[in-house]
């Protein structure tokens, strides 16, 4: 970004332009696992016209731009561009109009779904699309968000009736409108929904709202197997039951969520989360059918969320799945994505996914097994430390005392080798031991290595020789190439 563009942007935005590294870092990524990428600058427009002028300037100077909303993306949408600028829409966060009689509204791009529903709280209507995160509505449109209530209310493609978009050239266009039906011209609205900022920057959104249901019921049902849970969900959809939400967590995820979200009354089993919206009579009818379908597939008795607080806790646990997995370890990275298949292939798809995850689990268990072995090795390292320090302190020791200490240390090294199932031919072992004895048989043990620090650094010299210097000659049994590489990495980098 050249100085001329910087000057033009500063004049336009009057202080809403930042080159600060800390500010650029805050807008360098979403909540995903990707490394942050800092743009050259971050700008904060407040109107459609300002966004238009920014894009015209960047177009002239050939500078790429990245639009940024609330940064809740899990798939890298908000990562910056090292040669461009980031356009934060956070100041474009106003509800522009609400028409409760027509069940629609118009909002700026950075109004969040929770903000909108709080604004609508007294009007008897609500915005139903719930992807979990408190995302910006412009970003939800750009990414074609859906969420837990898509089964009844649809996705962003269903509820967006029109958009205001600023194209790369700086031209401002309006698509769609308030009417529910139109056959005039191209369906440009749906062209931009899901375009992820590649066709233009969405600055305003027209949305269809829904009436707040008279009665809301939430429950969970647990199943003995994954197949029975998936089959139940499939049958509910095929029966045409207008259920508002139906979500599934498998056994492993339930175990994680029970601990993270403190769901003390549930077990680690495949589980379906249900929610019903409607009148009291219609909900009772739907619940009875769903209970029967669940029971036919060996489902448990329904556990109901009797209060609003319990219902919110239940669905928060579902929405916190990402964070519950992330909390399993420090600096844990979680890669998430969506897959979509026809309902008839749902059981096959989820079963295949679980089988693949079980393979990953086995690899993970093998990895932790190796980590445990390194833990045992660390215990022996402490013991060797003590023995070598004793040798240093007794550097003027008699030969008999020295040999006793040496043989004790040598035995400890052999034990370490056995823990890694490393066997060496007797002749080669004798050669290694002889070399080590020759290096340490001087009266002053410290002088043999130069200093006490060198003595400590040489503790595993023998084991390094066994693995590195004699790898080609040794008979290494029951040790995979992968495990050998792990051992080498730890010894050669950590203890050299």
Summarised one tens digit per residue, pLDDT across range 42-62 is 999 999 999 999 999 999 999
Q: What is the pLDDT of residue 370?
A: 53
Which one, of 180, 177, 182, 94, lies nearest residue 138 by Cα?
Answer: 94
Q: What is the pLDDT of residue 341?
A: 83
**Cα–Cα distances in Å, from 233 out to 213, 240, 290, 291, 477?**
22, 11, 9, 12, 50
Q: What is the pLDDT of residue 414?
A: 55
Quick: pLDDT tens for 286-311: 999 999 999 999 999 998 887 888 88
Quick: pLDDT tens for 101-158: 999 999 999 999 999 999 999 999 999 999 888 899 999 999 999 888 999 999 999 9
- pLDDT less than 70: residues of the chain: 363-496
Other residues' Cβ atoms within 10 Å of the Cβ of residue 291: 16
Q: What is the pLDDT of residue 8?
A: 94
**Cα–Cα distances in Å, from 345 out to 47, 271, 350?**
46, 19, 9
Max intra-chain CA distance, the chain: 102
Secondary structure (H, E, C), the chain: CCHHHHHHHHHHHCCCEECCHHHHHHCCCCCCCCCCCCCCEEECCCCHHHHHHHHHHHHHCCCCEEEECCCCCCCCCCCCCCCCEEEECCCCCCEEEEECCCCEEEEECCCEHHHHHHHCCCCCEECCCCCCCCCEHHHHHHCCCCCCCHHHHCCHHHHEEEEEEECCCCCEEEEECCCCCCCCCCCHHHHHCCCCCCCCEEEEEEEECEECCCEEEEEEEECCCHHHHHHHHHHHHHCCCCCCEEEEECHHHHHHHHHHHCCCCCCCCCEEEEEEEECHHHHHHHHHHHHHHHHHCCCCCCEEECCHHHHHHHHHHHHCHHHHHHCCCCCCCCCCCCCCCCHHHHHHHHHHHHHHHHHHHHHHHHHHHHHHHHHHHHHHHHHHHHHHHHHHHCCCCCHHHHHHHHHHHHHHHHHHHHHCCEECCHHHHHHHHHHHHHHHCCCCHHHHHCCHHHHHHCCCHHHHHHHHHCCCCCEECCCCHHHHHHHHHHHHHHCC
Q: What is the pLDDT of residue 481?
A: 45
Q: Is 176 left (phi over 0), alpha (psi -120 to 50) or beta?
A: left
């Amino acid at each position: 970004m050249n100085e001329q563009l910087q000057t033009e942007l500063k004049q336009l935005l009057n202080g809403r332009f930042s080159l600060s590294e800390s500010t650029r870092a805050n807008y360098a990524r979403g909540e995903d696992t990707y490394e942050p990428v800092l743009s050259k600058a971050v700008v904060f427009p407040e109107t459609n016209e300002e966004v238009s002028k920014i894009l015209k300037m960047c177009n002239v100077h050939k500078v790429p731009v990245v639009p940024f909303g609330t940064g809740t993306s899990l798939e890298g949408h908000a990562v910056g561009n090292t040669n461009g600028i980031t356009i934060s829409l956070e100041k474009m966060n106003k509800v522009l109009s609400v028409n409760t009689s027509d069940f629609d509204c118009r909002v700026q791009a950075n109004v969040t779904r929770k903000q909108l529903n709080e604004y609508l709280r007294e009007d008897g209507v609500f915005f139903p699309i719930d992807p979990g995160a408190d995302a910006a509505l412009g970003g939800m449109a750009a990414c074609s968000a859906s969420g837990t209530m898509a089964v009844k209310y649809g996705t962003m493609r269903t509820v967006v009736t029109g958009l205001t978009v600023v194209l790369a050239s700086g031209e401002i266009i309006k698509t769609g409108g308030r009417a529910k039906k139109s056959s005039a011209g191209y369906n440009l609205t749906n062209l931009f929904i899901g375009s992820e900022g590649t066709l233009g920057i969405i600055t305003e959104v027209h949305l269809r709202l829904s009436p707040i249901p008279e009665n809301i019921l939430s429950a969970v049902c647990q199943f003995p197997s994954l197949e029975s849970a998936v089959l139940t969900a499939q049958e509910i959809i095929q029966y045409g039951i207008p259920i508002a939400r139906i979500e599934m967590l498998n056994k492993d995820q339930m175990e994680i969520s029970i601990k993270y979200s403190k769901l003390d009354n549930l077990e680690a089993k495949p589980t379906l989360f249900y929610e019903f919206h409607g009148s009291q009579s219609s909900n009772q009818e739907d619940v009875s059918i769903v209970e029967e379908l669940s029971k036919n597939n060996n489902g448990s008795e329904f556990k109901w969320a009797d209060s609003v607080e319990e219902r919110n806790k239940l669905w928060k646990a579902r929405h916190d799945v990402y964070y519950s997995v992330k909390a399993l370890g420090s600096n844990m990275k979680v890669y998430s994505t969506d897959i979509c298949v026809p309902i008839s292939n749902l059981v096959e798809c989820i079963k295949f996914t679980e089988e693949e995850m079980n393979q990953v689990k086995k690899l993970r268990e093998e990895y932790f097994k190796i980590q445990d072995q390194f833990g045992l090795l660390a215990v022996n390292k402490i013991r060797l430390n003590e023995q070598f320090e004793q040798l240093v302190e007794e550097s003027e020791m008699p030969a008999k005392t020295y040999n006793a200490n040496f043989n004790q240390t040598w035995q400890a090294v052999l034990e370490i080798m056995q823990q890694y199932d490393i066997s060496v031919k007797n002749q080669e072992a004798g050669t290694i031991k002889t070399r080590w004895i020759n290096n340490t048989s001087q009266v002053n043990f410290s002088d043999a290595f130069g200093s006490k620090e060198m003595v400590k650094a040489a503790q595993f010299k023998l084991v390094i020789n066994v693995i590195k210097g004699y790898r080609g000659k040794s008979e290494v049994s029951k040790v995979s190439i992968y495990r050998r590489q792990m051992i080498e990495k730890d010894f050669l980098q950590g203890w050299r």
